Amino acid sequence: MSTVAATVVATRKPLYQSLFVQVVVALLLGIVLGMAVPDFAVSLKIFSDAFLKLISMIVAPIVFCVVVHGIAGAGDLKKVGRVGVKALIYFETMTTVALCVGLVLAYLFGPGHGMNIDTSTLDAKALASYADNAHKLKGEGIGSFLMNIIPTTSFDALARNDVLQVLFFAIIFGVSLALVGGEKGEKISSLIDAVSSVLFRAMGLIVRLAPLGVLGAVAYTVGKYGVGSLRQLISLVALFYVSVAIFVLGVLGSVMALTGLNIVKFLSYLREELTIVLATASSDAVLPQIMRKLERLGVKDSVVGLVIPTGYSFNLDAFSIYLTLAVVFIAQATNTPLSFGDLMLVLGVSLITSKGAHGVPGSAIVILAATLNAVPSIPAIGLVLVLSIDWFIGMARACGNLIGNCVATVVVAAWEGDLDLAKARRVLDGDELVDVTAG
């Protein structure tokens, strides 16, 4: 047995200590409680809310520290700019592909055909809480969207956990720190690196509570909606899950193959985080540990610090699939004919509106409403049809978005020459253990 293999065997944790096993057990327990004692199960949502709040507490400062340290440590500001441009090119390419995947599959399988919904029978009150946000989003335009990236104050961005605004400030701060350089710059950079280490250690402690968060989320969902909750719109839910699987294994798998890595092994490497995201329907829940895992995979920290936070707003692959899939579904369900021009308008508008999805309350419904408002031939009231299944759609949507951003980080790193391919292969093959809870 090789020295590496012997070390792996010697340090491997017992099965019951595995976070993945604990999360799966919590998930199954949540289903059982939801079916057996639904009223009690619904009350367990406090565990999920508390876990997400703990994660939310630490996301913004971690993003700030990682981005600043990555830019200041890169040394070459031209390189930072180059990484940013490559990331944006990749984001737009994958977003366009994802939108087309949703459009094509919606037409191939026609999940809305046969529903023959009379829009006059739909309850518009169900959309009341989303309508105002959708109207504002539509009315703002690109100029206002870009202005909203700039925080009112740096503390305001951190206090509201607005990842995109924190990223904007962190980039300016990091570039300024790199330009200052010298002894002053080194002191501040060292301080930020030290703070980052402490924050990641805190993140490791919070992550150990993930099983409780998953238990609460799953128990609440099953207790409130029941295990048969998907029955009404099962075709749309099933098609979306299949669409995400096709995109991940087919499109992203092909992209990963170009870097020399296997998508299945990559997904296995991220299994703990994906299980948490699937149960909580929130990719924010694993942002800190995902960044750390990608660094330990062999991706340079400066690339991770730029691509992951930016991708949370600009690279929402699964959300893009859902956007066009849902628009066509609503058109089919309400017997609304769509011309080729309408489809092109949907694609064009979706490319813009999808960028505002992260951080918007009820983001999927809000962005869908904003998109439909720009395509007047489709009745916006049709959104009521997808409200009841948004939680279940959200689970796959969050997972797909997370996988897309992780693949984007690896691809951009490989493109830039900042990926240790040999180390990545060792980690994915299990020859080198990675424990993000160790700090």
426 has a pLDDT exceeding 60: yes
pLDDT of residue 291: 87
Give the model's confidence band at 189: pLDDT under 50 very low, under 70 low, under 90 confident, else very high: confident
The overall average pLDDT reported for the chain is: 78
Tell me the per-residue pLDDT of 73-118, one tens digit each, with 9 for 90 and over. Answer: 666 667 777 888 898 899 889 989 998 999 899 888 888 777 666 5
Contact 360, 133 (CB under 8 A): yes
pLDDT of residue 264: 94
Of 126-140, 194-208, 350-364, 382-396, the poorest mean pLDDT is in 126-140
Name the CA radius of gyration of the chain, rounded. Answer: 22
pLDDT of residue 240: 92
Tell me the per-residue pLDDT of 235-268, one tens digit each, with 9 for 90 and over. Answer: 788 899 999 999 999 999 999 999 999 999 999 9
Greater pLDDT, 312 or 366:
312
Structure tokens at 198: 């402490």
Of 248-262, 279-293, 395-409, the poorest mean pLDDT is in 279-293
Q: What is the mean pLDDT of residues 290-305?
A: 88
Give the model's confidence band at 6: pLDDT under 50 very low, under 70 low, under 90 confident, else very high: very low
CA–CA separation, 143 vs 186, rounded Å? 37
With a CB cutoff of 8 Å and minimum separation 6, the contacts of 375 are 327, 342, 345, 346, 349
pLDDT of residue 1: 40
390 has a pLDDT exceeding 60: yes
Q: What residue ranges do the domains of the chain occupy?
A: 13-429
CA–CA separation, 422 vs 384, rounded Å? 50
Q: Which fold has domain 13-429?
A: Proton glutamate symport protein (1.10.3860)
Of 41-55, 189-203, 334-348, 372-386, the poorest mean pLDDT is in 372-386
Tell me the per-residue pLDDT of 316-349, one tens digit each, with 9 for 90 and over. Answer: 888 889 888 888 888 888 888 877 777 787 777 7
CA–CA separation, 31 vs 388, rounded Å? 19
Percent of the chain with pLDDT over 70: 75
Percent of the chain with pLDDT over 90: 16
Give the model's confidence band at 185: pLDDT under 50 very low, under 70 low, under 90 confident, else very high: confident
Q: What is the mean pLDDT of residues 65-69?
A: 78
CA–CA separation, 74 vs 55, rounded Å? 28
Helix count and strand count (H, E) for the chain: 22, 0
Q: Of the ranges 143-152, 178-187, 306-315, 418-427, which is most confident?
A: 418-427
Residue 82 Cα to chain centre, angstroms? 24
Contact 259, 414 (CB under 8 A): yes
Helix (H, G, I), strand (E, B) or coil at 419: strand
In one-letter notation, the amino acid at residue 255 is V
